[in-house]
């Protein structure tokens, strides 16, 4: 009798609920990819391209907030001239957060 009531009530089978759970998980992962992961990777590529285009004489801002002008560029470091006394600071290229100088495309 109990089996007949379960069949008449229209409850989904356990295999169907398992598939629905898997489908929802996949949908959530796809949404996370398009809303979080993809834009972050795009931003990282833009930042890397900006660092590759750096030239001597560009005004830059470091991740620490130091503003200065590029004095020299090595493979993975940049010497930034800052302040009124023209002091020089060597920073890693990845620490350059923004280039304030406009370049011709």
Sketch the domain layout of the chain as residue ranges: 1-52, 55-105
- Mean of per-residue pLDDT scores for the chain: 88
User: CATH class for domain 55-105?
Assistant: mainly beta
Residue 76 per-residue DSSP state: S
Q: By the 8 A CB rule, do 56 and 70 touch?
A: yes
pLDDT of residue 44: 95
Helices (H) and strands (E) in the chain — how many of each? 3, 5
pLDDT of residue 38: 94
Backbone angles phi, psi at 66, to 5 degrees: -80, 130
Q: What is the mean pLDDT of residues 44-56?
A: 94
Is the pLDDT reported for residue 25 higher than 70? yes
pLDDT of residue 17: 85
More confident residue, 79 or 8: 79
Q: By the 8 A CB rule, do 61 and 100 touch?
A: yes
Q: What is the mean pLDDT of residues 17-33?
A: 93
């Amino acid at each position: 009798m109990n089996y007949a009531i379960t069949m008449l009530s229209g409850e989904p089978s356990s295999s169907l609920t398992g598939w629905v759970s898997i489908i929802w998980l996949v949908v959530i992962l796809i949404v996370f990819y398009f809303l979080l992961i993809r834009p972050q990777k795009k931003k990282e590529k833009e930042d890397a391209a900006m660092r590759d285009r750096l030239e001597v004489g560009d005004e830059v801002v470091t991740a620490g907030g130091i503003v200065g002008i590029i004095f020299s560029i090595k493979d993975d470091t940049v010497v930034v001239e800052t302040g009124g006394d023209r002091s020089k600071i060597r920073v890693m290229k990845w620490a350059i957060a923004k280039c304030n100088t406009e370049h011709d495309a």
